[in-house]
Protein backbone atom coordinates (compact mmCIF):
# COMPACT_ATOMS: atom_id res chain seq x y z
CA UNK A 1 0.00 0.00 0.00
CA UNK A 2 2.18 2.83 -1.23
CA UNK A 3 0.02 5.83 -2.03
CA UNK A 4 -0.72 8.45 0.60
CA UNK A 5 -4.43 8.79 -0.34
CA UNK A 6 -4.90 5.08 0.41
CA UNK A 7 -2.81 5.08 3.59
CA UNK A 8 -4.94 7.76 5.26
CA UNK A 9 -7.89 5.38 5.05
CA UNK A 10 -6.28 2.00 5.55
CA UNK A 11 -2.80 2.08 7.14
CA UNK A 12 -3.08 0.54 10.59
CA UNK A 13 -6.89 0.53 10.45
CA UNK A 14 -8.56 -2.88 10.88
CA UNK A 15 -12.13 -3.69 11.93
CA UNK A 16 -12.23 -3.96 15.72
CA UNK A 17 -11.68 -7.61 16.74
CA UNK A 18 -14.49 -7.57 19.37
CA UNK A 19 -17.52 -6.64 17.23
CA UNK A 20 -16.14 -5.90 13.79
CA UNK A 21 -16.69 -2.15 14.21
CA UNK A 22 -15.43 -0.49 11.03
CA UNK A 23 -14.62 2.74 12.84
CA UNK A 24 -11.98 2.45 15.56
CA UNK A 25 -13.85 2.31 18.90
CA UNK A 26 -13.18 4.86 21.64
CA UNK A 27 -11.77 2.75 24.48
CA UNK A 28 -12.94 5.12 27.20
CA UNK A 29 -11.28 3.28 30.04
CA UNK A 30 -8.43 4.02 32.41
CA UNK A 31 -7.67 0.39 33.25
CA UNK A 32 -7.98 -3.24 32.04
CA UNK A 33 -9.01 -6.47 33.79
CA UNK A 34 -6.26 -9.02 34.42
CA UNK A 35 -6.96 -12.76 34.70
CA UNK A 36 -4.14 -13.24 37.15
CA UNK A 37 -1.49 -10.69 38.28
CA UNK A 38 0.47 -9.70 35.19
CA UNK A 39 -1.75 -11.77 32.87
CA UNK A 40 -3.54 -9.37 30.51
CA UNK A 41 -4.29 -8.76 26.84
CA UNK A 42 -1.47 -6.25 26.28
CA UNK A 43 -3.11 -3.34 28.09
CA UNK A 44 -2.65 -2.56 31.80
CA UNK A 45 -3.32 1.15 32.32
CA UNK A 46 -4.29 3.90 29.86
CA UNK A 47 -1.37 6.21 30.61
CA UNK A 48 0.86 3.40 29.36
CA UNK A 49 -1.26 2.22 26.42
CA UNK A 50 -4.81 2.52 25.13
CA UNK A 51 -6.18 0.66 22.07
CA UNK A 52 -7.59 3.80 20.38
CA UNK A 53 -4.23 5.51 20.84
CA UNK A 54 -2.37 2.46 19.52
CA UNK A 55 -4.33 2.59 16.24
CA UNK A 56 -3.60 6.30 15.85
CA UNK A 57 0.12 5.79 16.52
CA UNK A 58 0.33 2.92 14.02
CA UNK A 59 -1.34 5.01 11.34
CA UNK A 60 0.84 8.08 12.00
CA UNK A 61 4.01 6.00 11.66
CA UNK A 62 2.85 4.83 8.22
CA UNK A 63 2.02 8.38 7.07
CA UNK A 64 5.47 9.77 7.99
CA UNK A 65 7.47 6.72 6.80
CA UNK A 66 8.51 6.22 10.43
CA UNK A 67 9.59 3.21 12.47
CA UNK A 68 7.35 4.39 15.28
CA UNK A 69 4.97 7.17 16.32
CA UNK A 70 3.99 8.35 19.79
CA UNK A 71 1.27 10.86 20.63
CA UNK A 72 1.18 13.45 23.42
CA UNK A 73 -1.38 15.76 24.97
CA UNK A 74 -0.13 18.76 22.94
CA UNK A 75 2.50 19.67 20.39
CA UNK A 76 4.57 21.31 23.11
CA UNK A 77 4.35 18.20 25.30
CA UNK A 78 5.82 16.22 22.40
CA UNK A 79 8.71 18.72 22.04
CA UNK A 80 9.29 18.45 25.77
CA UNK A 81 9.58 14.66 25.44
CA UNK A 82 12.42 15.19 22.93
CA UNK A 83 14.14 17.60 25.34
CA UNK A 84 13.86 14.91 28.01
CA UNK A 85 16.17 12.70 25.94
CA UNK A 86 18.92 15.13 26.93
CA UNK A 87 20.93 15.69 30.08
CA UNK A 88 22.20 18.78 31.95
CA UNK A 89 25.01 20.40 29.95
CA UNK A 90 23.84 19.11 26.57
CA UNK A 91 23.67 21.64 23.75
CA UNK A 92 20.98 22.18 21.15
CA UNK A 93 21.34 24.07 17.88
CA UNK A 94 17.94 25.49 16.96
CA UNK A 95 16.56 27.66 14.18
CA UNK A 96 16.23 31.36 15.06
CA UNK A 97 12.71 31.64 13.61
CA UNK A 98 10.47 29.27 15.58
CA UNK A 99 6.88 29.07 16.80
CA UNK A 100 6.65 31.39 19.87
CA UNK A 101 5.68 28.55 22.23
CA UNK A 102 8.71 26.47 21.18
CA UNK A 103 10.93 29.47 21.71
CA UNK A 104 9.42 29.97 25.19
CA UNK A 105 9.85 26.28 26.09
CA UNK A 106 13.50 26.37 25.00
CA UNK A 107 14.42 29.70 26.58
CA UNK A 108 12.34 29.86 29.73
CA UNK A 109 11.92 26.20 30.70
CA UNK A 110 14.66 24.02 29.17
CA UNK A 111 17.48 26.49 29.90
CA UNK A 112 16.49 26.37 33.59
CA UNK A 113 16.97 22.61 33.44
CA UNK A 114 20.58 23.05 32.35
CA UNK A 115 20.24 22.64 28.58
CA UNK A 116 22.23 25.04 26.41
CA UNK A 117 20.95 26.56 23.16
CA UNK A 118 22.39 28.34 20.14
CA UNK A 119 19.83 29.89 17.80
CA UNK A 120 20.99 30.21 14.22
CA UNK A 121 19.64 31.01 10.76
CA UNK A 122 19.26 27.49 9.37
CA UNK A 123 19.69 28.74 5.78
CA UNK A 124 23.31 29.60 6.62
CA UNK A 125 24.90 26.14 6.60
CA UNK A 126 28.35 27.45 7.52
CA UNK A 127 26.85 29.13 10.60
CA UNK A 128 25.05 25.92 11.56
CA UNK A 129 28.28 23.94 11.23
CA UNK A 130 30.14 26.54 13.33
CA UNK A 131 27.47 26.33 16.05
CA UNK A 132 27.96 22.59 16.51
CA UNK A 133 29.98 21.69 19.64
CA UNK A 134 31.19 18.37 21.03
CA UNK A 135 28.20 18.44 23.44
CA UNK A 136 25.60 19.22 20.71
CA UNK A 137 23.09 16.39 20.94
CA UNK A 138 20.14 17.82 19.05
CA UNK A 139 19.46 20.07 16.07
CA UNK A 140 15.94 21.52 15.99
CA UNK A 141 14.45 22.77 12.73
CA UNK A 142 11.11 24.19 11.67
CA UNK A 143 10.45 24.33 7.93
CA UNK A 144 8.76 26.37 6.67
CA UNK A 145 9.28 28.55 9.73
CA UNK A 146 6.39 30.04 11.67
CA UNK A 147 5.66 32.78 10.73
CA UNK A 148 8.61 33.71 8.46
CA UNK A 149 7.81 30.97 5.89
CA UNK A 150 11.55 30.47 5.48
CA UNK A 151 12.54 27.08 4.06
CA UNK A 152 15.34 25.00 5.55
CA UNK A 153 17.16 22.31 3.54
CA UNK A 154 16.40 19.21 5.63
CA UNK A 155 18.89 16.88 3.90
CA UNK A 156 21.74 19.39 4.23
CA UNK A 157 21.07 20.02 7.93
CA UNK A 158 20.75 16.25 8.54
CA UNK A 159 24.30 15.74 7.24
CA UNK A 160 25.66 18.51 9.47
CA UNK A 161 23.84 17.12 12.53
CA UNK A 162 25.04 13.59 11.86
CA UNK A 163 28.67 14.65 11.29
CA UNK A 164 28.52 15.72 14.94
CA UNK A 165 26.45 12.73 16.15
CA UNK A 166 23.45 14.90 17.00
CA UNK A 167 19.85 13.96 16.29
CA UNK A 168 17.95 16.06 13.78
CA UNK A 169 14.36 16.84 14.81
CA UNK A 170 12.04 18.63 12.37
CA UNK A 171 8.81 20.35 13.37
CA UNK A 172 6.67 19.39 10.36
CA UNK A 173 3.48 21.01 11.68
CA UNK A 174 3.12 23.55 8.85
CA UNK A 175 3.22 20.99 6.05
CA UNK A 176 1.59 17.79 7.35
CA UNK A 177 3.00 14.48 6.07
CA UNK A 178 0.98 14.94 2.88
CA UNK A 179 3.25 17.80 1.80
CA UNK A 180 6.56 16.93 3.45
CA UNK A 181 8.16 13.85 5.03
CA UNK A 182 11.45 14.83 6.71
CA UNK A 183 12.36 11.27 7.78
CA UNK A 184 12.70 10.41 4.08
CA UNK A 185 15.23 13.27 3.82
CA UNK A 186 17.46 12.15 6.71
CA UNK A 187 15.78 13.53 9.86
CA UNK A 188 15.61 11.28 12.92
CA UNK A 189 12.55 12.75 14.63
CA UNK A 190 9.50 14.49 13.19
CA UNK A 191 7.26 16.48 15.47
CA UNK A 192 3.70 17.61 14.75
CA UNK A 193 1.25 19.80 16.51
CA UNK A 194 -1.69 17.64 15.38
CA UNK A 195 -3.89 20.45 16.63
CA UNK A 196 -3.29 21.73 13.09
CA UNK A 197 -3.55 20.02 9.66
CA UNK A 198 -3.43 16.41 10.80
CA UNK A 199 -6.65 16.71 12.80
CA UNK A 200 -7.78 19.57 10.59
CA UNK A 201 -10.99 20.56 12.36
CA UNK A 202 -9.82 22.93 15.13
CA UNK A 203 -11.40 20.79 17.86
CA UNK A 204 -8.44 18.94 19.42
CA UNK A 205 -5.06 19.85 20.97
CA UNK A 206 -2.53 17.03 20.46
CA UNK A 207 1.07 16.39 19.48
CA UNK A 208 3.03 13.56 17.90
CA UNK A 209 6.58 12.36 17.43
CA UNK A 210 7.48 10.09 14.55
CA UNK A 211 10.93 8.57 14.59
CA UNK A 212 13.43 6.59 12.56
CA UNK A 213 15.93 4.70 14.62
CA UNK A 214 19.23 6.58 14.15
CA UNK A 215 21.41 5.02 11.51
CA UNK A 216 24.57 6.53 13.01
CA UNK A 217 26.33 6.00 16.35
CA UNK A 218 24.91 7.77 19.39
CA UNK A 219 25.75 7.44 23.06
CA UNK A 220 23.63 4.67 24.59
CA UNK A 221 22.01 7.14 26.99
CA UNK A 222 19.90 8.50 24.11
CA UNK A 223 18.80 5.31 22.50
CA UNK A 224 18.73 3.12 25.59
CA UNK A 225 19.08 -0.59 25.13
CA UNK A 226 16.26 -0.89 22.66
CA UNK A 227 16.55 2.28 20.60
CA UNK A 228 15.18 5.80 20.35
CA UNK A 229 11.53 4.72 20.01
CA UNK A 230 11.65 2.71 23.21
CA UNK A 231 13.28 5.57 25.10
CA UNK A 232 10.57 8.00 23.93
CA UNK A 233 7.86 5.46 24.78
CA UNK A 234 9.41 5.21 28.27
CA UNK A 235 9.28 9.01 28.56
CA UNK A 236 5.68 9.13 27.27
CA UNK A 237 4.62 6.79 30.07
CA UNK A 238 6.93 8.19 32.75
CA UNK A 239 5.95 11.84 32.21
CA UNK A 240 2.33 11.01 31.40
CA UNK A 241 1.37 13.84 29.00
CA UNK A 242 -0.89 11.54 26.97
CA UNK A 243 -4.10 12.36 25.06
CA UNK A 244 -7.43 10.78 25.95
CA UNK A 245 -9.08 8.14 23.73
CA UNK A 246 -11.87 10.43 22.50
CA UNK A 247 -9.34 12.94 21.18
CA UNK A 248 -7.43 10.08 19.52
CA UNK A 249 -10.67 9.02 17.81
CA UNK A 250 -11.26 12.58 16.55
CA UNK A 251 -7.76 12.78 15.07
CA UNK A 252 -8.23 9.35 13.42
CA UNK A 253 -11.43 10.69 11.89
CA UNK A 254 -9.74 13.91 10.76
CA UNK A 255 -6.89 11.99 9.08
CA UNK A 256 -9.33 10.12 6.80
CA UNK A 257 -9.75 13.34 4.77
CA UNK A 258 -6.17 14.62 5.14
CA UNK A 259 -5.25 14.01 1.50
CA UNK A 260 -8.34 15.65 -0.01
CA UNK A 261 -8.21 18.51 2.47
CA UNK A 262 -4.54 19.20 1.75
CA UNK A 263 -5.14 19.16 -2.01
CA UNK A 264 -7.67 21.97 -1.58
CA UNK A 265 -5.55 23.85 1.00
CA UNK A 266 -2.61 23.70 -1.44
CA UNK A 267 -4.72 24.96 -4.35
CA UNK A 268 -6.33 27.77 -2.38
CA UNK A 269 -3.02 28.72 -0.76
CA UNK A 270 -1.27 29.22 -4.09
CA UNK A 271 -4.20 31.08 -5.68
CA UNK A 272 -4.47 33.50 -2.77
CA UNK A 273 -0.69 33.99 -2.49
CA UNK A 274 -0.54 34.97 -6.18
CA UNK A 275 -3.52 37.27 -5.82
CA UNK A 276 -2.04 39.00 -2.75
CA UNK A 277 1.25 39.44 -4.59
CA UNK A 278 -0.48 41.55 -7.22
CA UNK A 279 -2.47 43.62 -4.69
CA UNK A 280 -1.40 47.29 -4.62
CA UNK A 281 -1.79 47.54 -0.82
CA UNK A 282 0.38 44.50 -0.10
CA UNK A 283 4.12 45.04 0.31
CA UNK A 284 5.29 41.42 -0.10
CA UNK A 285 4.12 37.81 0.23
CA UNK A 286 5.88 34.68 1.50
CA UNK A 287 4.62 31.37 0.17
CA UNK A 288 6.88 28.57 -1.12
CA UNK A 289 4.68 28.03 -4.18
CA UNK A 290 5.44 31.50 -5.61
CA UNK A 291 8.14 31.24 -8.28
CA UNK A 292 9.65 34.44 -6.86
CA UNK A 293 9.92 32.99 -3.33
CA UNK A 294 13.57 32.44 -2.25
CA UNK A 295 12.59 28.95 -1.06
CA UNK A 296 10.74 27.89 -4.23
CA UNK A 297 13.44 25.68 -5.79
CA UNK A 298 14.06 23.93 -2.45
CA UNK A 299 10.29 23.56 -1.96
CA UNK A 300 10.05 21.77 -5.31
CA UNK A 301 12.81 19.38 -4.20
CA UNK A 302 11.76 18.57 -0.65
CA UNK A 303 7.98 19.10 -0.57
CA UNK A 304 5.08 17.44 -2.37
CA UNK A 305 2.81 20.50 -2.13
CA UNK A 306 3.23 24.09 -0.98
CA UNK A 307 0.63 24.18 1.79
CA UNK A 308 -2.05 26.56 2.97
CA UNK A 309 0.09 28.94 5.03
CA UNK A 310 0.78 32.45 3.74
CA UNK A 311 2.63 35.27 5.42
CA UNK A 312 2.29 38.75 3.96
CA UNK A 313 3.20 42.31 4.80
CA UNK A 314 0.59 45.05 4.49
CA UNK A 315 1.59 48.51 3.34
CA UNK A 316 0.41 49.91 6.68
CA UNK A 317 1.28 50.51 10.31
CA UNK A 318 -0.12 48.64 13.32
CA UNK A 319 -3.33 50.70 13.35
CA UNK A 320 -3.96 49.82 9.69
CA UNK A 321 -3.21 46.14 10.31
CA UNK A 322 -5.69 46.19 13.21
CA UNK A 323 -8.39 47.72 10.99
CA UNK A 324 -7.77 45.05 8.36
CA UNK A 325 -7.95 42.22 10.92
CA UNK A 326 -11.11 43.60 12.53
CA UNK A 327 -12.82 43.95 9.13
CA UNK A 328 -12.42 40.35 7.92
CA UNK A 329 -15.58 38.26 7.96
CA UNK A 330 -14.72 34.83 6.52
CA UNK A 331 -11.21 34.69 7.97
CA UNK A 332 -11.56 34.30 11.75
CA UNK A 333 -9.01 36.21 13.79
CA UNK A 334 -7.67 33.46 16.03
CA UNK A 335 -4.49 31.70 17.09
CA UNK A 336 -3.79 28.29 15.56
CA UNK A 337 -3.95 27.11 11.95
CA UNK A 338 -4.63 24.07 9.83
CA UNK A 339 -8.41 23.81 10.16
CA UNK A 340 -10.88 23.49 7.30
CA UNK A 341 -11.97 27.06 8.00
CA UNK A 342 -9.71 29.99 7.19
CA UNK A 343 -7.94 31.71 10.09
CA UNK A 344 -5.88 34.88 10.31
CA UNK A 345 -3.26 35.71 12.93
CA UNK A 346 -1.26 38.78 13.92
CA UNK A 347 1.89 37.01 15.20
CA UNK A 348 3.53 40.05 16.85
CA UNK A 349 0.58 40.46 19.23
CA UNK A 350 -0.84 36.93 19.26
CA UNK A 351 1.09 33.68 18.62
CA UNK A 352 4.61 35.13 18.91
CA UNK A 353 4.14 37.65 21.73
CA UNK A 354 6.49 35.50 23.85
CA UNK A 355 9.35 36.14 21.40
CA UNK A 356 11.38 39.13 22.69
CA UNK A 357 11.01 42.30 20.57
CA UNK A 358 14.72 42.31 19.66
CA UNK A 359 14.46 38.77 18.21
CA UNK A 360 11.19 39.58 16.44
CA UNK A 361 12.80 42.53 14.68
CA UNK A 362 15.88 40.48 13.79
CA UNK A 363 13.75 37.90 11.96
CA UNK A 364 11.48 40.53 10.39
CA UNK A 365 8.40 39.82 12.54
CA UNK A 366 6.99 43.32 12.26
CA UNK A 367 3.59 44.86 13.08
CA UNK A 368 2.44 44.80 9.43
CA UNK A 369 3.06 41.02 9.15
CA UNK A 370 -0.13 38.96 8.82
CA UNK A 371 -0.32 35.14 8.78
CA UNK A 372 -3.08 33.31 6.95
CA UNK A 373 -4.13 29.70 7.33
CA UNK A 374 -6.14 29.21 4.16
CA UNK A 375 -9.14 26.90 4.54
CA UNK A 376 -11.11 24.88 2.03
CA UNK A 377 -13.78 27.51 1.28
CA UNK A 378 -14.14 28.79 -2.31
CA UNK A 379 -10.99 30.77 -3.11
CA UNK A 380 -12.97 33.60 -4.78
CA UNK A 381 -14.97 34.17 -1.58
CA UNK A 382 -11.78 34.28 0.46
CA UNK A 383 -10.16 36.79 -1.91
CA UNK A 384 -13.28 38.98 -1.83
CA UNK A 385 -13.13 38.98 1.98
CA UNK A 386 -9.42 39.92 1.98
CA UNK A 387 -9.96 42.64 -0.63
CA UNK A 388 -12.85 44.22 1.27
CA UNK A 389 -10.87 44.22 4.54
CA UNK A 390 -7.71 45.61 2.90
CA UNK A 391 -9.77 48.46 1.49
CA UNK A 392 -10.94 49.29 5.04
CA UNK A 393 -7.37 50.28 6.00
Enzyme catalytic residues: 47, 99, 171, 196
Contact stretch for ligand PLP (CB under 6 A) within 60-68, 69-77, 290-298, 355-363: 69-77
Residue 102 vs 131, nearer CB to ligand PLP:
102
- Min dist CB 275 to ligand PLP, Å, is 24
Residue 202 makes contact with ligand PLP by CB under 6 A:
no
Q: Is the CA virtual torsion 55, 61, 64, 70 positive or negative?
A: positive
What is the distance between the alpha carbons of residues 68 and 139, in angstroms, rounded to a whole number?
20
Residue 128 vs 141, nearer CB to ligand PLP:
141
Binding residue (CB under 6 A) for ligand PLP from 8, 27, 61, 75: 75
Residue 350 makes contact with ligand PLP by CB under 6 A:
no
Termini Cα distance of the chain: 51
- Min dist CB 53 to ligand PLP, Å, is 16
Residue 74 makes contact with ligand PLP by CB under 6 A:
yes
Residue 173 makes contact with ligand PLP by CB under 6 A:
yes
Binding residue (CB under 6 A) for ligand PLP from 12, 50, 59, 99: 99
Dihedral of the alpha carbons of 308, 300, 182, 261, in degrees to the nearest 10: 30
Q: At what angle do helices 75-83 and 228-239 cross, to 10 degrees?
A: 120
What is the distance between the alpha carbons of residues 133 and 129, in angstroms, rounded to a whole number?
9
Scan residues 205-234 and list those touching ligand PLP (CB under 6 A).
205, 207
213: left (phi over 0), alpha (psi -120 to 50) or beta: beta
Nearest residue to 232 (alpha-carbon basis) of 44, 53, 52, 83: 83
Binding residue (CB under 6 A) for ligand PLP from 195, 268, 342, 368: 195
What is the distance between the alpha carbons of residues 81 and 241, in angstroms, rounded to a whole number?
9
What is the distance between the alpha carbons of residues 80 and 84, in angstroms, rounded to a whole number?
6
Contact stretch for ligand PLP (CB under 6 A) within 22-30, 33-41, 167-175, 367-375: 167-175
Contact stretch for ligand PLP (CB under 6 A) within 71-79, 175-183, 249-257, 315-323: 71-79
Binding residue (CB under 6 A) for ligand PLP from 146, 176, 180, 236: 146
What is the distance between the alpha carbons of residues 376 and 393, in angstroms, rounded to a whole number?
26
Contact stretch for ligand PLP (CB under 6 A) within 99-107, 124-132, 247-255, 368-376: 99-107
Contact stretch for ligand PLP (CB under 6 A) within 98-106, 107-115, 216-224, 248-256: 98-106
Residue 247 makes contact with ligand PLP by CB under 6 A:
no
- Min dist CB 279 to ligand PLP, Å, is 26
What is the distance between the alpha carbons of residues 24 and 52, in angstroms, rounded to a whole number?
7
- Min dist CB 231 to ligand PLP, Å, is 21
Scan residues 278-337 and list those touching ligand PLP (CB under 6 A).
336
Residue 110 vs 132, nearer CB to ligand PLP:
110
User: Which residue is closest to ligand PLP by CB?
Assistant: 75
Residues that bind ligand PLP (CB under 6 A): 74-76, 99, 101-102, 142, 146, 171, 173-174, 193, 195, 205, 207, 336
Amino acid sequence: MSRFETKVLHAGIEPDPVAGAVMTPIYQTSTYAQKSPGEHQGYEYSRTDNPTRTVLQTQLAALESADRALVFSSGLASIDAVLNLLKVGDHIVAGDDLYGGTFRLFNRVAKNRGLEFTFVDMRDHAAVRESMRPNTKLVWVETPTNPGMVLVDIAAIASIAHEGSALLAVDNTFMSPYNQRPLELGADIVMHSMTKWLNGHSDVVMGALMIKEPGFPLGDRYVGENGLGDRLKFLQNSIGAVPGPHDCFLVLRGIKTLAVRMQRHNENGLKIAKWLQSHPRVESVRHPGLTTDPGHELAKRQMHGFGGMITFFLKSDLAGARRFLESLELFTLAESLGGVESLVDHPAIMTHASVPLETRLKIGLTDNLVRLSVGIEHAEDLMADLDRAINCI
